[in-house]
Amino acid sequence: MAATVFYLDEVPEPGAIAVLDGPEGRHAATVRRIRVGEPITLSDGRGVLAESEVVAAEKDRLELAVRDRRRAEPVTPTVTVVQALPKSDRSELAVELMTEAGADRIVPWQAARCVANWEAKAAKGIEKWRAAAKSAARQSRRPYIPDIADLHRTRDLLELVREAKADGAIIAALHESGTGKFTELPLARTAEVVLIVGPEGGLDDVELTALAEAGADVVLLGPTVLRTSTAAAVALGALGALTTRW
């Protein structure tokens, strides 16, 4: 079994001693009870991985001897998930699931029918999503922590769609009104996929029309209607099987 992954801003070169402290150190030493002699994989969350061994352990701090260091190549196509804000009790769950399923970038979207409203607390919401993404990346031993973008309004999303389309990306707006299937898109022939997931109340007609005009394909993900908190993870699983991501 692969060693547990913990994150450092900068991973030292082989032969150096790395110090894991702060929240990561507390989690490793206090929650996971990692002790001297145990292996740990260090990562900067941007693709660098280093195998190391604990040489000293304190209450909230570990010292590790770095044995080797390498870079994990990103998988393709890269996937951006535009996630309409779920209700508070499912918001971080959505981030955890799509992180574990392999999302590369996550864009919070204040859609028209969102129950949640981040207009006055966007910074706090983004901070929670970033913490959830880091925790889920650690759990799934990912060398890359998904980037969490700033809050997007619909006008921002439409600009994102137009720019991605101009760069050759496939943009899939997942909705029950889609006349085509997600699995019928030429996913294996693109370098980037953008998944757009609506809120609990669904995408409204104005949003659907605007997204289609900007270049998005409105498609069915499957035979059932999924929760907004699980739809992205299901789509990422299908994408993994249909492309070289897996």
pLDDT at 80: 98
Query: Are the CB atoms for 53 and 65 separated by under 8 Å?
Result: yes
Taking the CA atoms of residue 108, residue 23, residue 73 and residue 156 in that order, the dihedral angle to the nearest 10 degrees is: 20
Question: Per 3-state DSSP, what percentage of the chain is helix, strand, and coil (rounded to 5)?
Answer: 35, 25, 40
Nearest to 218 by CA among 243, 169, 240, 185: 185
**What whole-number distance in Å separates Cα of residue 98 and Cα of residue 246?**
15
Which H/E stretch holds residue 194? strand 192-197
pLDDT above 80 for 3:
no
Token pair for 96:
């955890």
pLDDT above 80 for 65:
yes
**Average pLDDT for 134-143:** 94
pLDDT above 90 for 242:
yes
**What whole-number distance in Å separates Cα of residue 216 and Cα of residue 203?**
13
Q: Is 76 helix (H, G, I), strand (E, B) or coil?
A: coil
In this prediction the pTM is 0.93
pLDDT above 70 for 1:
no
